Structure 1
Amino acid sequence: MLHLRQEARATWTLAWPIMIGQLASTGTSFVDAVMAGHVSAGDLAAVSVGASIWVMLIVTLIGLNLAASPLIAHAVGARREADVPALVQQALYQGLCWALIGWVIALVAAPIFPLLGLPPDVAAKAHGFLIAVSWGLIPFSLFRVLYGYSASLGQTKPMMVISLIGLALNIPANWMLIYGHFGFPAMGGVGCGWATAFCMWATLLMMIGWIRYAPVYRATYPFRHWQRIDWRRQRELARLGLPIGVVYFVEVSAFGGVALLMARLGTTSVAAHQIALNIGSLTFMIPSALGTALTVRVGHALGGGNPHRAREIGNAGLVLGLIVASVSTLLIIAGRHQIAGWYTSDTAVLALAGTLLLYAGLFQLADATQIVAGGILRGYKVTRQPMLIHLTAFWLVGIPLGYVLAFGVAGLPGIGAAGYWQALVLALLCAASLLVWLFIRTSKRFIKTANPLR
């Protein structure tokens, strides 16, 4: 028990700055939703539907760019710091490639909105929002690579500070572009997209500047002696990163993609779902930070040849995740009506959002467990099996069952938006159970062979 407390404390020390930084990054979506919602329910719905594709893109990019983190952590744990600069450079090349692919997807997807049954003005605003915000994909992807590099060195506070500054910049940028100040046109929800893209470029430049001048990065400084693309290393990064990207895409599409399907249920359902999803996205960042910290700490332990400690770190991380999730559950359920009131004064949206936030609170425990377990497994460089687990849980169980519950089947009536959330809670429970089982099996195998990956 003493070891568990010590490992949990060490993980928390590394994780809490990541947590605040990620909450600040996600806070831009919160600010967008709140400020757009106070323009009109239509602007909130437009940002909701546009953000459903945007969030799928950026969360998938987060997953794809996580491949470098366990590789760097293993190198640091094995005292091979000389390998780190080349690793970061190759990850930046790949991150740029992923971002360009994401940009093309955003441009191709933008014309879909008029086909979803949305009112023409809402569809036009959603289209404009996605086009505008997609200009932030390249800086976001490169920032995430540098984010993983810094975290693998145990330097998490810089990202926290930079993300908080980015959030602070987003508020006046939104104010100018949404409502039209200082000579800018009043663009409503579309202005949120341009403001977010601007802030992402700003945070990337701040991160590059910090790495350039902070002494702690000098031994592994990645911006000198640039190498050409190393295709062997690119394949290694892709082998790890693609399954992680699929995992992240599967989960976020199960939630964000629902907003597209809910367009059939009307603006009220779309807006209420966006409120619940926005809060879910904020709370997701708390266990996500724990998962990032655990990837680094487990990777350090395995790189240093200590699989017993890697298992202890993982066990303590699971307990810590459950404690944090319990607090989130209580806060969301107890304050769901007040939370909905932050976003809108529309009576119908408030009522439905209160119901959906109840489900958003209930899934916290399962969501935290599966996120933390996934982070631990990344530290073991295990990514393919979690991908298969998520595909099964969300696309074979969650989305089909959610569609049936929401819209009905064979003459049975649907229950609307709540049906999707009920099914997605069940999918999270399935994923969490299987990922914990996979961690237990993997840790035993590493201990038995006493031959950790190097």
Structure 2
Amino acid sequence: MKQTYSLKEKGKQLLVIFLPILVTQLALSSMMFFDTVMSGNASAVDLAGVAIGSSIWSPVATGITGIMLAVTPIVSHFIGGGRRDKVPFAVIQGVYLAIVISLLIILGGALALQPILHRMELEPAVRDIASGYLFALAFSIIPLFVYTVFRCFIDALGQTRVTMIITLISLPINITLNYMLIFGKFGFPRLGGVGAGVASAITYWCIAIIALFVLCRVEPFAEFGLLKRLFPVSLSAWREQLKLGIPIGLAIFFETSVFAAVTLLMSQFNTVTIAAHQTALNFASVLYMLPLSISMALTITVGFEVGAKRFRDAQQYGHLGIGMALGMAVCCGVGLLLCNQQVAHLYTKDPAVFELAKQFLVYAIFFQLSDAIATPVQGGLRGYKDVNVAFFVAFCSYWVIGLPLGHLLASYTSFAAFGYWIGLIVGLACGATGLLVRLRRVQRKSMAVNEYLVA
């Protein structure tokens, strides 16, 4: 990261940070995609087991990862404020906290997993695969969350291209291990869906080890000497990270879990409707990587400027990020409107599912427009270390407005399954409005404080 002096320079720096993040997010999400697709090629039972396991693990993983994301604004503020000596301590405390949280998750999973699976009334074979898949993933929890801390440190320095390269190196490792362990190739046992979990666990260990090597040997990371000093545990540092991270994690959890809830509620409709819904939701999730990546880039750039007390520059980055996200959303919306038949054909050849999926994809356009505001604004607020209101807005927009309204529309109107999408679109639009108002207030307050200090 470096100081910029014009909108053109800011736009260029934001783009340089954003593009590698986008590639990284797409690569990370594709790991779960390959787990599912390759397991499906093993058998329908393996596919069902991995799908159930993923649906249990994903909300937990994204929520806990949100807690680790607090390292980014913390480090960005230190770098922007010229306090580089504080960075190693903050990162190592983040690693300690990641390990403790990982152990708690493993313990909680050991106690709760089997009761959860038995309540789901699954076929015994599907339950066994889901259980084995999650058991294998348990061995990857510590390296996954520790790597997240490393990634936040790397990204906070503006070196997002490095995390992109690490992730791209790990992707073929994951695919190769899936091939060997799911299908039993090259002398390895055929583990089916459980093999996908083992492959992911090994891959996450590889990612963490590669990242650790980069931090110790590659500049500008090596100059911080992260492992040269063994810092004692600091509960005050943990408290600071949790104060930022828990609202971030809960906001992400509420967002991911509401879509899981909608999918479960969709079970009241026929198989064709459920398949069409999943098609549109999956494609919308891919498009969501655009505003999400911009959001992460804004946390870095805004945090850097706020740390340096350059609040006008932070405000300009916020406007650039939201404008960029809206422009991309409009382009994606127009493209989706014109090419929804082609998109639907990517997922299914079934005529009934195809026709219904085209209609769901139209609703996905409105998702993109609201996400283009709400998601970057959240990233900007994290750069200001303002996270509590965003958490409250996320909860209300999805669980107080979106899901109840969707259930009413789906159950008592002719919208049927589309009612859930309408409800979530309305909730997301309300959330985007609330978050935008909050960002404006935070920006104005920061500017006012800055002008007071200057005077």
CA gap 1:429/1:201 in 2 versus in 1, 3 angstroms: same
In 2, are the aligned partners of 1:268 and 1:349 still within 8 Å (CA)? yes
Rounded Cα–Cα distance in structure 1 between residues aligned with 2:115 and 2:339: 37
Equivalent position amino acid for 2:440 in 1: I
**Conserved? CA contact 1:390–1:431, under 8 Å:** yes
Partner Cα separation in structure 1 for residue 74 and residue 394 of structure 2:
23
Residues 24-103 of structure 1 correspond to what in structure 2 (within 5 A)? 24-39=27-42, 43-103=46-106
Post-superposition Cα deviations, 1:220-264, rounded to whole Å, max 9, x if no partner, equal: 231221111111111111111111111111101111333344455
Partner of 2:160: 156
**1: CA distance, partners of 2:372 / 2:45:** 32
- The equivalent position to 2:242 in structure 1, one of 221, 235, 238, is 238
The equivalent position to 1:228 in structure 2, one of 222, 228, 232, is 232
Cα distance in 1 between the residues matched to 2:282 and 2:206: 23
Superposed counterparts of 1:415-430, under 5 Å: 415-416=416-417, 418-430=418-430
Range with greater deviation from structure 2 (51-60 or 126-135): 126-135
**AA matched with 1:281:** S
Q: What is the SS of the residue equivalent to 1:215?
A: coil
RMSD of aligned alpha carbons = 2.7
Residue of structure 1 equivalent to 2:395: 391
Q: Whole-Å Cα distance in 2 between the matches of residues 226 and 50 of structure 1? A: 37
Q: Which amino acid aligns with 2:424?
A: L
Q: Distance in 1 between matches of 2:85 and 2:452?
A: 20
1:137 to 135, 141, 146: 141
| 8 Å contact from structure 1 (residues 446, 452) kept in 2 | no
Structure 2 SS opposite 1:434: helix
Kindly indicate whether residue 378 of structure 2 is the aligned counterpart of residue 374 of structure 1. yes
- 3-state SS of paired residue (1:229): coil
Could you tell me the TM-score, scaled by structure 2's length?
A: 0.89
What's the CA shift for 1:192?
Answer: 2.4
After superposition, the Cα gap between the structure-2 partners of 1:134 and 1:166, relative to the gap in structure 1 and judged at 3 Å, is same
Q: 1:88 to 1:269 in 2, by over 3 A?
A: farther
Q: For residue 44 of structure 1, report the CA deviation from its aligned partner.
A: 4.0
* Cα offset, 1:133, TM superposition: 2.7
Cα distance, 1:296 vs structure 2: 1.4
Q: Which runs of 5+ in 2 are unaligned?
A: none
Question: Which one is further off, 179-188 or 248-257?
Answer: 179-188
Higher relative contact order (CA closer than 8 Å, sequence separation 6+)? 1
1:112 aligned onto 2:113 = no
Higher deviation after alignment, 219-228 or 419-428 = 419-428
Where does 1:40-439 land on structure 2 (aligned, <5 Å)? 43-107=46-110, 108-116=112-120, 118-263=122-267, 265=269, 272-343=276-347, 350=354, 352-406=356-410, 408=411, 415-416=416-417, 418-439=418-439
Distance change in 2, residues 1:60/1:120 (3 Å): same
Identity level (%): 34
Change in Cα spacing, 1:197 to 1:286, as seen in structure 2 (3 Å) is farther
SS at match of 1:216: coil
* Code of the aligned partner of 1:58: A
Q: Please give the alpha-carbon distance, in whole angstroms, between the structure 2 residues aligned to 1:361 and 1:41.
A: 31
Runs (5+) with no aligned partner, structure 1: none
Cα distance in 1 between the residues matched to 2:452 and 2:218: 32
CA deviation string 1:346-399 (max 9, x = no partner): 666555544444433431121132110001001111000101101110111122
2:234 partner letter: D
